[in-house]
Amino acid sequence: MTTTPTAPAPAPSFGLTPEHEELRRTVEEFAHDVIAPAIGDLYERHAFPYEIVREMGRMGLFGLPFPEEYGGMGGDYLALCLALEELARVDSSVAITLEAAVSLGAMPLFRYGTEEQKRRWLPALCRGEALGAFGLTEPEAGSDAGGTRTTAVRDGDTWVINGTKCFITNSGTDITSLITVTAVTSPGRISTLVVPAGTPGLTVAPAYSKVGWNSSDTHELSFADVRVPADHLLGEEGRGYAQFLHILDEGRIAIAALSTGLAQGCLDESLAYARTRSAFGRPIGANQAIQFKLADMAARAHTARTTWRDAAARLAAGAPFKQQAAIAKLHASDVAVTNAREATQIHGGYGFMNEYPVARMWRDAKILEIGEGTSEVQRMLIARALGLSDL
């Protein structure tokens, strides 16, 4: 079977406005001046960075893509992703805290909530005074999220929720205010419900012992006859599956930006090390083998940045972006893992010591190929966009 090729739509420009560039510089300085001196100790203690989060809230980072009427900054998704890239150049735990709070915690409310729901919950989330979480993944339903087993049964004016969610970011902090939960509300139909933190029957398990992202908050959640009012249904009943697919499409751009930041951070640290570390009487950066590694790292970070900015520009312009988001997430996460490995190699034995940022980056990189859609899922989405699923 052959198909008639169609001309691709012109790509929107993704050059930065002066406002975008000012934001990028501001977050870059914040990451260098505030996060970098503190994060090593927090990371080793597996401590959540409450003071850093408070300062990010005061800067308006949690409200970047939301309208001012809900307490936001009136920006766009590109602004959020610029902030994520600059944060991840220094630390991914802080970056994923912002990413999950905005694109997974608050964005479903903004996209699908009623006016009353938005005005009730969004202002505190936009100020960073409260964090939202997204309860999607389950022990038996990860990439196959359509296999959700958590249930929600209507009982008069309430929904009764039972089930388990796992790997939920921002779900157990002192400032977590709500979890948006996907649940089966009738056979074959998944809906989305807002569950406030502290609701009776909601149990937050102890924090996971993780390989990386040690200063981010991640828990398993269990729901045992958790009752929430009927008006906590988010959007139309039975549309939860479609809702979270769209939310994840947007979130993949954000994860691609975060991945790019980690890749750039690996290059930043390796350049500094190559200029100051001497072996055999000269800086190791004078050796062509090291120069080529650094050149390849720079090329990878650049191409990753290009992919996520293209996807973000398409999203902002209202153009189709699903395929470009999958490409960005697939490529940038691969780049992050590769640059982290090469940075560790350049640092030699010191790259295996936790006092060096590249050791933290190496530990943080792998999850980027898994979270918010594995690399295998991204390839499935890209192949589907190419029409191969119809063969």
For the chain, give the percent of residues with pLDDT over 70: 95
1 band by pLDDT with thresholds 50, 70 and 90:
very low
Question: Does 11 score more than 90 pLDDT?
Answer: no
Phi, psi dihedral angles at 184 (to 5 degrees): -80, 120
- Chain segment 380-391, per-residue pLDDT in tens: 999 999 999 766
Task: Please calculate the CA angle 260-268-86 and round it to the nearest 5 degrees.
Answer: 45
247 band by pLDDT with thresholds 50, 70 and 90:
very high
User: Tokens 């192949």 — which residue?
Assistant: 383
14 band by pLDDT with thresholds 50, 70 and 90:
low
d(CA 261, CA 333): 10
Contact 372, 255 (CB under 8 A): yes
Question: Does 6 score more than 50 pLDDT?
Answer: no
d(CA 53, CA 244): 26
Write down how long the chain is.
Answer: 391
Cα–Cα distances in angstroms (integers) from residue 337 to residues 231, 334, 364, in the given order: 43, 5, 9
Q: What pLDDT score was predicted for residue 2?
A: 37
Cα–Cα distances in angstroms (integers) from residue 73 to residues 190, 265, 309, 371, in the given order: 32, 27, 20, 27
d(CA 43, CA 90): 12
- Chain segment 290-331, per-residue pLDDT in tens: 999 999 999 999 999 999 999 999 999 999 999 999 999 999
The secondary structure element, H or E, covering residue 54 is helix 50-59
143 band by pLDDT with thresholds 50, 70 and 90:
confident
Tell me 273's DSSP state.
Answer: H
Which of 85, 99, 342, 372 is catalytic? The answer is: 372
Across the range 111-123, mean pLDDT stands at 97
Q: What pLDDT score was predicted for residue 145?
A: 67
The secondary structure element, H or E, covering residue 226 is strand 218-229
Across the range 212-237, mean pLDDT stands at 97
- 307: Cβ contacts below 8 Å, ≥ 6 apart: 256, 324, 327, 328, 331, 332
d(CA 112, CA 349): 50
For the chain, give the percent of residues with pLDDT over 90: 92
Across the range 350-376, mean pLDDT stands at 95
What mean pLDDT, rounded, does the chain reach? 94
In order of their start, the domains of the chain are 18-131 (1.10.540.10), 133-237 (2.40.110.10), 241-390 (1.20.140.10)
How many helices (H) and strands (E) in the chain? Answer: 12, 9
**Residue 133: alpha-carbon gap to chain centroid:** 12
d(CA 284, CA 294): 11
Q: In the annotation, is 236 catalytic? A: no
Question: Does 7 score more than 50 pLDDT?
Answer: no
Across the range 21-30, mean pLDDT stands at 97
What letter represents residue 226's amino acid? V
SS3 161: strand
Q: What pLDDT score was predicted for residue 54?
A: 98
d(CA 27, CA 17): 16
Q: What pLDDT score was predicted for residue 384?
A: 94
- Chain segment 41-60, per-residue pLDDT in tens: 999 999 999 999 999 999 99
Across the range 202-207, mean pLDDT stands at 97
Question: Does 232 score more than 50 pLDDT?
Answer: yes
List the one residue out of 106, 49, 52 whose CA is nearest residue 251. Answer: 106
Q: What pLDDT score was predicted for residue 319?
A: 95
- 184: Cβ contacts below 8 Å, ≥ 6 apart: 148, 149, 150, 151, 152, 190, 191
Task: Please calculate the CA angle 40-42-344 and round it to the nearest 5 degrees.
Answer: 30
